[in-house]
Structure 1
Amino acid sequence: MRIAVFSTYTYDEAYLNRFNTGHELTFFVLPLNEQTAALTKDFDAICIFVNDTVNKDVLAILHENGVRLVVLRCAGFNNVDIAAATTLGIPVLRVPAYSPEAVAEHAMALILTLNRKTHKAYNRVREGNFSLEKLMGFNLHQRKVAVIGTGNIGRAFCNILRGFGCKISAFDIYPDQELAAAGVTYGSLEETLADADIVSLHCPLMDSTHQMINADSLKLFKKGAMLINTSRGGLINTMDVIAALKHGQLGYLGLDVYEQEGKLFFQDYSEDVIQDEMILRLISFPNVLITSHQGFFTQEAMEQIATTTFRNIDAFASKADLHNQVVIG
């Protein structure tokens, strides 16, 4: 099959070429959107990532250009209009799981860095400053951590927390019985957030979870608590979080995702004036740590993404069962 691969970088090309099962790949650095959809003419399929836009208008262009398949090299699919794709008869396949440990470990890295301020210590020592002033952290042992969402990544994160001796409270509409048996306490969202020292988000972005962290839910947080988001930027109302940081209700913030990341992440703007006022405000806080959607970025995860992507493509090409198809409902 002829496949147009969008939003690609050197690491994407390396892993997709390495695990290619015999398809013709054309790589585009550009993201897929209304302006770039014309590039898909004469391709059989497209392969996209988190910041590509496949809405109703884009899908209409894809259909007209002869595209028969949309393949996501990620788990999330909120950037694709599934209903419109279904109407046009274009299957949407995804990678439902790729090294959940990678994202879970990155969430823990954000926690440890924010808490023990190792990023600040690193810069100080390089400048000859060996002072410990304002570097004090807290023990994770016996601290309450609220885990919102205990799917594959949330489960892996809980297992890491158990190794640190944390008290784990969780919220999920489908509680994990194995985690519950291991000592994870499930409750309502309100119960889970109450008195938590750390809140970590691991749930998908849906209508029911959109901006679930907002002015109202932030009032349930323990004053000075830490918030970690390695899931989807839309889970957080950024302006409300900024207000909570400003007034001290929120003590720490670690983000690997951001509401408006599509305009920033994966790009180098070091020589430009960034126009996003919210990200500039967040960067200005000394108790905020932001990474640019790198939680998934390990060798193991990239290998699993590539192999599953081609498994999906091969299944479509051979008219086999599409186990990883995204369906409505």
Structure 2
Amino acid sequence: MKVLIYSAKDFEVPFLEIANNEIHQIKYVPERLTDKTAVMALGFDVISIFSADDASSSVLEKLKDFGVKHIALRSTGYDNINLAKAKKLGVKVANAAGYSPNAIAEHAIALLLALNRKLMLSHKQVHEYNFSLSELVGFDLYQKTIGVIGMGSIGKVIVQIMKGFGCNLVAHDPYEEVTMIEKYGVEYMSLREVYQESDVIFLSAPLNSQTHHLIDMEAIAQMKNNTILINVARGAIVHTKDLIQALQTKMIMAYGADVYEFENGLFFYDHSKNKPEDEYLQVLLKLPNTLITPHQAFATKEALTNIAETTFYNINCWEQGKTPSNELTKELVR
């Protein structure tokens, strides 16, 4: 099959090449899929897209006209694609489900530790030969209450790791798993209770109509003023304007995120010579109690291997007339 890889990054191409094993005709392009770049898919059977690509209704219509029959996502999340429209058009879609929850969860913990133990400030001070500890005091995680919103594969790994720190674990999710309760002592709660009880809150829920701007001023007002909020889900789960106000007025202690509400077209690219005029991002980057990373949590060798292998597993299934286990359009009901 002829496959076009949108948003191809130099670091992932070697993994994709190995997974393809010279079976399919591959073309890599660095451009994002947008309404304007959809024409690049002309003549291709399959396209592969990443989380920053736009597979909205109008784009899907163009892809269908250009002959695209399959879309392989190189991500677990699929909030960037209109699945109902894809199904209506007869375009099959599959994702790279659960490629490495450990990679994402471990990065979430790294954000927490860096913020709590003031590692960014410490690094800066040491390089200036300032060895004072006055601004570097953190707190023990032992016996603190950790809240996890979204107990999918990533949330479960976060729970396992934080159990090792000796934390008390609370969670919110539509589904309560007995294993999490019995083995890790997780107490499932309402959102309000998680907000009120937690010293640290991890966001690991999918972005949908229920979770969009879940963390707004009303939610933040219910949190402790020493709460650290960590977001490794999607940027739009947090209302950025409200978050900035909360950080500036110290309604919460700190915010660490590997995502940003307005990251499309921004993250994954070098803008150092042409800095974007994004006022929210400029403020966030200047706040001393904020740590933003550029959607890099998935960037481990293991995760990239799994993403590539799953991507071509999906494509291979389609070529063989089979339905891959990760196909998202097969069970979609509207």
Q: TM-score, normalised by structure 1?
A: 0.98
Gap runs ≥5 in structure 2? none
Q: How does 1:65-214 map to 2 (within 5 A)?
A: 65-182=66-183, 183-214=185-216
Structure 1 residue 184: Cα displacement? 0.8
Q: Which residue of 1 aligns with 2:298?
A: 296
Q: Kindly report the root-mean-square deviation, in angstroms, between the aligned alpha carbons of the 2 structures.
A: 1.0
**Cα distance in 1, alignment partners of residues 168 and 311 from structure 2:** 37
Aligned partner letter, 1:303: T
Q: Which residue of 2 aligns with 1:325?
A: 327
State the secondary structure of the residue aligned to 1:123: helix
Q: Deviations over 1:52-90 (max 9, x none)?
A: 001111111111111110110100111001111101100
Q: Deviations over 1:255-296 (max 9, x none)?
A: 100110013101111222321110001111100000000111
State the secondary structure of the residue aligned to 2:212: coil
**Cα distance in 2, alignment partners of residues 195 and 186 from structure 1:** 12
Aligned partner letter, 1:16: L
Structure 1 residue 217: Cα displacement? 0.8
Structure 1 residue 99: Cα displacement? 1.2
State the secondary structure of the residue aligned to 2:157: helix
Q: Which residue of 2 aligns with 1:11?
A: 11
Structure 1 residue 297: Cα displacement? 0.9
State the secondary structure of the residue aligned to 2:107: helix
Aligned partner letter, 1:8: A
2:264 aligned residue (262, 265, 271): 262
Q: How does 1:234-253 map to 2 (within 5 A)?
A: 234-253=236-255
Q: Pick which of 319-328 and 112-121 moved more.
A: 319-328
Q: TM-score, normalised by structure 2?
A: 0.97
Structure 1 residue 250: Cα displacement? 1.3
Percent identical pairs in the alignment equals 38
**Cα distance in 2, alignment partners of residues 188 and 153 from structure 1:** 19
Structure 1 residue 128: Cα displacement? 1.6
**Cα distance in 2, alignment partners of residues 20 and 158 from structure 1:** 35
Q: Pick which of 186-195 and 75-84 moved more.
A: 186-195
**Displaced runs of 4+ in structure 1, greater than 3 A?**
none
The size of the alignment, in residue pairs, is 329
**Cα distance in 1, alignment partners of residues 174 and 258 from structure 2:** 24
Q: How does 1:29-40 map to 2 (within 5 A)?
A: 29-40=30-41
Aligned partner letter, 1:12: E
Structure 1 residue 127: Cα displacement? 2.2
Aligned partner letter, 2:12: D
State the secondary structure of the residue aligned to 1:26: strand
Q: Which residue of 1 aligns with 2:225?
A: 223
Q: Pick which of 120-129 and 234-243 moved more.
A: 120-129
Structure 1 residue 124: Cα displacement? 1.7
Q: Deviations over 1:150-202 (max 9, x none)?
A: 11000000000000011111000001211111211111111111131111101
State the secondary structure of the residue aligned to 2:264: helix
Q: Which residue of 2 aligns with 1:307?
A: 309
Gap runs ≥5 in structure 1? none
**Cα distance in 1, alignment partners of residues 201 and 224 from structure 2:** 10
Q: Which residue of 2 aligns with 1:20?
A: 20
Structure 1 residue 234: Cα displacement? 1.1
Q: Deviations over 1:184-235 (max 9, x none)?
A: 1111111111131111101100111111000111111111211100011111
**Cα distance in 1, alignment partners of residues 58 and 12 from structure 2:** 26
**Cα distance in 1, alignment partners of residues 57 and 204 from structure 2:** 28
